[in-house]
Structure 1
């Protein structure tokens, strides 16, 4: 089961505008709601529920039991479950929206949800049920509440993921670094990387990838204004990029990490070429399979600074003919009990509710690798403060950032000029304008 990161998909402005034009949306839509929706009375009728590549031998029994339980509670409601394949999901969603055939309840990450929100095709769930906010993970709730130019919340956090830090203590031990000494901030990590590189003559490297937007999120640097304008070319961001350049000059960073042929920091870590990597809790399984002796000397900690958040949500169509049943089912799918049961199967993911993570760890720790169980706890403990990268940040922006950042880290451009160029490119190519 893949982590469907909110960083993964970027929608073009043309696609957004085409959907808005076809559906009559635009401006700040009243996304399907004029006020609270009462789900406390008797519910009836049929609703359609659409998932994203989850109808298979692993998850089908869960969903069949979930639907059966809901229909038992509401015997006059019939839930029709449909599933779409992973490839082309975004195109399928846009096609459904354009043809007014969106399912009543569906699964959308924030980036794919955005054009539907702008076109008024999704229900404002904060307005439909004002008591929902406190039930869910704060960062997950915020990910569906930060659509520039639109008020409201358009998804219930369903299952969450994050990255953590992985450290090779065997490589660090000769330089006086123990688990208790591992840094908890971006600055501390870069300072340690430079120190260890200098003392080891570049043999031990702790920086194995270029700074990305998540680096600035982790450092609590403001990324965007409320209107969607990117603003992360701040003095604090300049200082971080310069620290990367200084670490590179000190030998703390492999030269290939600045090239297009770079295989990634996780692969470098598995090969023993770097002493630090980022990765989800499932990285423990990769270590067990590919580098079991390395696992013995590896510890996982929370990412320095603010951890990243990958979020999937459950959404309700604003055009649903049965909003009460649809909202009730969306809340049922994402309540704590059902999210915990789902996360027990989707091992490595956390429930999108504010509580329940401890229950997941207790349920799976006896059946997974001990290192993964420990890593899951580290990740789950970090989730209450985790933040997602803005959905407006696209793959093309990442490519441009990497090109420019390589120049800055090599010393061929200043950190300030580099960040100014990246921010200008991002604002010139915004998908929400």
Structure 2
């Protein structure tokens, strides 16, 4: 099931296999008018959700059909493996369902090919029902419009080890929250521990460049720009951390699992995570658990990163009023709150995060993390550019590794990464 923070962040990209550029752009060749009677048969496709949530979705569909007599919703669920390829094949063959579960990077090539309906034209009346950052997450640089209703969100707070901060002479009640504080405190922590304790276990990702305040793409959406002065500054500081062992020496090849293990064994002071991690700490490392602090993601912009899923309407559907109505119904505040209480995700609807479910702790690990994450989501944005593919992530990571190893300067590394990513962008 594509619910986890990591899974949402690493969704596959369609662009390399979707030969549809001749279809045009924007909201498709059909009319964007979604007015008219809500009736007819539509097909709704999800992404590996049926196994665990069959009753929930069947219930929502039944309620929708009751609200709109004359509608008939057929639900199909596809496995996570090969989901992007399946959407691509259906889009190319003209068999894409009327309503489709997508992530921003999956909707991008569909929007450019004219297959994703522009909701700014077809459903603008619903825009204010959603968090601004969530609505904007399905906008494509260089293309006007919004191409999916925001559905569920995810994010994670930052865990930190109070004991390690205290041992380094830092205030365990006031952990670093900006990158400048992380860089300063990280060097102190590494110096005090003589290089035995690092602050972080991962190299910077594209989200870090966004949270640092750098420009990720040019205004036209035609090229990447994370090699600007802010980007070079960020990577230069990470090089300083790496040289001082304030960045874990194995960060170049780290995975979320290995980084979590470093934090578990108390050789790293800070690490992002989830409620599942907290429960794991309590079971496997009770000493660490007693010293766990929970804070917001590190950010110099004041805004955390969000991961978001959406529901897109096929611009070519023959039942546009019904398809738009169902996509909105599935993502409205009532349905999103119901879904959020069944799985550890968060609603994208305005005001929902003020519900006591997301604001009041009851002493359990689950609510500690839920409340912390929900608070940050109110102003969070999706920093990952929708056009930034997995191949591009690999290019950036490889160039960063060379810079940290001293094989090239931070400026050279980011220039090379931008050049490689722009080349991939042009090929898509």
1:19 counterpart residue number = 20
Q: Distance in 1 between matches of 2:266 and 2:128?
A: 44
2:315 counterpart residue number = 318
Q: Distance in 2 between matches of 1:96 and 1:261?
A: 33
2:155 counterpart residue number = 162
Write the mapping of 1:19-418 to structure 2, written as runs, cut at 5 A. Answer: 19-20=20-21, 24-26=22-24, 28-31=25-28, 34-38=31-35, 42-56=37-51, 58-145=52-139, 147-228=140-221, 229-259=223-253, 264-305=258-299, 306-347=303-344, 349-359=345-355, 361=357, 370-388=364-382, 389-418=384-413
What per-residue deviation string (whole Å, max 9, x for no partner) do you get for residues 3-22 of structure 1?
23244323444x23x133xx
Gaps of 5+ in 2: none
Q: Return closer, same or farther for 1:7/1:139 CA change in 2, 3 Å cut-off.
A: farther
- Verify the 8 A CA contact 1:19 1:119 in the aligned structure 2: yes
Q: Return closer, same or farther for 1:33/1:134 CA change in 2, 3 Å cut-off.
A: farther
Q: Distance in 1 between matches of 2:163 and 2:319?
A: 59
Q: Which moved more, 1:175-184 or 1:200-209?
A: 175-184
Matched, 1:5 2:1: no
Q: Distance in 1 between matches of 2:35 and 2:360?
A: 37
Q: Return closer, same or farther for 1:33/1:402 CA change in 2, 3 Å cut-off.
A: same
Q: Which moved more, 1:261-270 or 1:150-159?
A: 261-270
What per-residue deviation string (whole Å, max 9, x for no partner) do you get for residues 72-121 of structure 1?
11122111111111111111111111221111111011111122112211
- Verify the 8 A CA contact 1:256 1:262 in the aligned structure 2: no
Q: Return closer, same or farther for 1:140/1:432 CA change in 2, 3 Å cut-off.
A: farther
Q: Distance in 2 between matches of 1:130 and 1:258?
A: 44
Q: Which moved more, 1:190-199 or 1:401-410?
A: 401-410
| TM superposition shift of 1:148 | 3.2
Q: Return closer, same or farther for 1:292/1:64 CA change in 2, 3 Å cut-off.
A: farther
What per-residue deviation string (whole Å, max 9, x for no partner) do you get for residues 43-95 of structure 1?
32211111111112x31111111111111111221111111111111111111
- Verify the 8 A CA contact 1:221 1:236 in the aligned structure 2: yes
| TM superposition shift of 1:32 | 5.4
| TM superposition shift of 1:282 | 3.2
Q: Distance in 1 between matches of 2:359 and 2:206?
A: 34
Could you state the TM-score of these two structures normalised by the residue count of structure 1? 0.91
Q: Distance in 2 between matches of 1:141 and 1:359?
A: 20
RMSD: 2.2
Gaps of 5+ in 1: none
Q: Distance in 1 between matches of 2:245 and 2:87?
A: 47
- Verify the 8 A CA contact 1:11 1:431 in the aligned structure 2: no
Q: Return closer, same or farther for 1:264/1:334 CA change in 2, 3 Å cut-off.
A: same
Q: Secondary structure at the match of 1:160?
A: strand
What per-residue deviation string (whole Å, max 9, x for no partner) do you get for residues 183-242 of structure 1?
221121121111111122112210211111111011121100132210111222212111
Could you state the TM-score of these two structures normalised by the residue count of structure 2? 0.92
Number of corresponding residues = 420
Q: Distance in 1 between matches of 2:27 and 2:39?
A: 25
Q: Return closer, same or farther for 1:282/1:76 CA change in 2, 3 Å cut-off.
A: same
Q: Distance in 2 between matches of 1:394 and 1:8?
A: 9
- Verify the 8 A CA contact 2:202 2:254 in the aligned structure 1: no
Q: Distance in 2 between matches of 1:48 and 1:247?
A: 52
